[in-house]
Amino acid sequence: MEWIKQILSHNAWWTYVLLCIFIQITSCSIDDLSQRAQNLMESYPLIDGHNDLALQLRRIYKNRISEINLRTINNTRTNLDKLKTGHVGAQFWSVYVLCGAQDKDAVRLALEQIDVIKRMCKEYEELEFVTSSQGIEHTKKIACLIGLEGGHIIDNSLATLRMFYELGARYMTLTHTCNTPWAESSGGGPHKFYLRTKSLTDFGTEVIREMNRIGMIIDLSHTSFNTSRKVLAISKSPVIFSHSAVFSLCEIARNVPDDILLSIKKNGGLVMVNFHTEFIACKKTANISTLADHFDYIKKIAGPESVGIGGDYDGVSGFPQGLEDVAKYPLLIEEMLRRGWQDEEIKGVLRENFLRVFRRVEEVRDELLNIRPSEIEIPEDELSYSCRLDLWKFQQKSTSGTQERSMSLLALTTYILPWIYVFW
């Protein structure tokens, strides 16, 4: 080593030559990884678990998509050109309804978001609305799928849950940042909704069974740890976290702790990693390496088959440097290859892991075909709002009114008409 130092110190030409060789080797390595990432994504286009573009279409454009060009809009992190550049093959569009709509007009708002997603997917030839694993596999376009974000959307009604499935929703996040009467959220406190709800209630268990029966994927992002644990103990189908990260790397309630990661492995489910800097780094800034650490960690604890991608673009504000929009997905795959992920593992992360989960959810649905739809209703004493029409009381009141009219008619016939006849 000493003689090399002497040569380098006395001969700048040797330093220059060695530096050029190093730069060339490094450049070739980077180019190779980049090309491998591109090739993998062309063959196995990404299935992303969570995107909030529909929320921005409401917020910015009031759902008037006829007035904009979704191929090139530049005030969102998502447009169709960027999706193609990012090799996105299927996208779950989030039907997000704010917690403030709980016990009010959450169902209407959700229907309006489904409407704008369906119109978007119909109007652009790059997109195709699908509702099955087969639909994702067979389309040559970007597959559009719907995920409901927040169990308050179904207004405590299994019939409403079933109707959302009929409209094409294929997963439901059990809670958002507020509790429902039947499930506890990871962020239930600030909203003051149903603070007594702990974990999953009896009616919540019935929601899980009905989701298994109809073939709707259960999404545990935003749920409390205890809710997640209980769901994993009872669900016949694999479940997902559509946009969450690792608790051990960023200790916030929105992320997934190790014991639940192990349960996900046993369940055959999936953690689709969220890109939000405050979820992956617990601060406002992060880089691609910070994000890749979460993929590595899930792989270590639960295996590569338990990992997917749920970017959460257009739902939050902070993203890792270099991953600012949906066009940048290949840079993450390049980083994972650099870290030694094998091609087969990358294929799983990109789409095969999710397709396995979706197929199994559909298989469980088919196995339960002979089970009749649940007719269980949530107990009234678990609700805390007065604008819900009580049909039983309404029926009793209507019956009482009919009886009163009948008694009046009887009195008229029995007592009054004879006197009219006499005086007549």
How do residues 312-344 score in pLDDT, each as one tens digit? 999 999 999 999 999 999 999 999 999 999 999
CB environment 385-421: b (16+ within 10 A), e (fewer): eeeeeeeeeeeeeeeeeeeeeeeeeeeeeeeeeeeee
Higher pLDDT, 54 or 3: 54
Residues 6+ apart with CB under 8 A from 173: 147, 148, 149, 150, 151, 219, 220, 221, 222, 223, 242
- For the question of residue 312 being annotated catalytic, the response is yes
Residues 6+ apart with CB under 8 A from 305: 265, 348, 353, 356
Residues 6+ apart with CB under 8 A from 7: 14
In the prediction, which pLDDT does 2 show? 56
Instruction: Write out the two tokens for 388.
Output: 């819900």
pTM check: above 0.85 = yes
48: helix, strand or coil: strand
Q: What is the pLDDT of residues 194-241, one digit of tens each?
A: 999 999 999 999 999 999 999 999 999 999 999 999 999 999 999 999
Residue length, the chain? Answer: 424
The catalytic residue among 176, 191, 276, 294 is 176
Q: What is the pLDDT of residues 170-195, one digit of tens each?
A: 999 999 999 999 999 998 667 789 99
Amino acid identity of residue 395, one-letter, is Q
- For the question of residue 276 being annotated catalytic, the response is no
Amino acid identity of residue 233, one-letter, is A
In the prediction, which pLDDT does 385 show? 79
The catalytic residue among 87, 152, 243, 294 is 243
Instruction: Write out the two tokens for 364.
Output: 């469980």
- For the question of residue 67 being annotated catalytic, the response is no
246, pLDDT greater than 60:
yes
The catalytic residue among 87, 152, 191, 222 is 222
- For the question of residue 115 being annotated catalytic, the response is no
- For the question of residue 81 being annotated catalytic, the response is no
- For the question of residue 52 being annotated catalytic, the response is yes
Average pLDDT, rounded, for the chain: 90
Q: How confident is the model at residue 28 (pLDDT cuts 50, 70, 90)?
A: very low
In the prediction, which pLDDT does 389 show? 76
- For the question of residue 149 being annotated catalytic, the response is yes
Amino acid identity of residue 71, one-letter, is R
23, pLDDT greater than 80:
no
The catalytic residue among 50, 152, 191, 294 is 50
Q: Around 391, how many Cα atoms within 13 Å sit in the side-chain half-sphere?
A: 1
Angle at 328 between CA 327 and CA 330, to 5 degrees: 110
The catalytic residue among 48, 312, 335, 345 is 312
17, pLDDT greater than 80:
no
Q: How confident is the model at residue 3 (pLDDT cuts 50, 70, 90)?
A: very low
Mean pLDDT of 265-287: 98
Of 145, 144, 142, 166, the closest CA to residue 154 belongs to 166
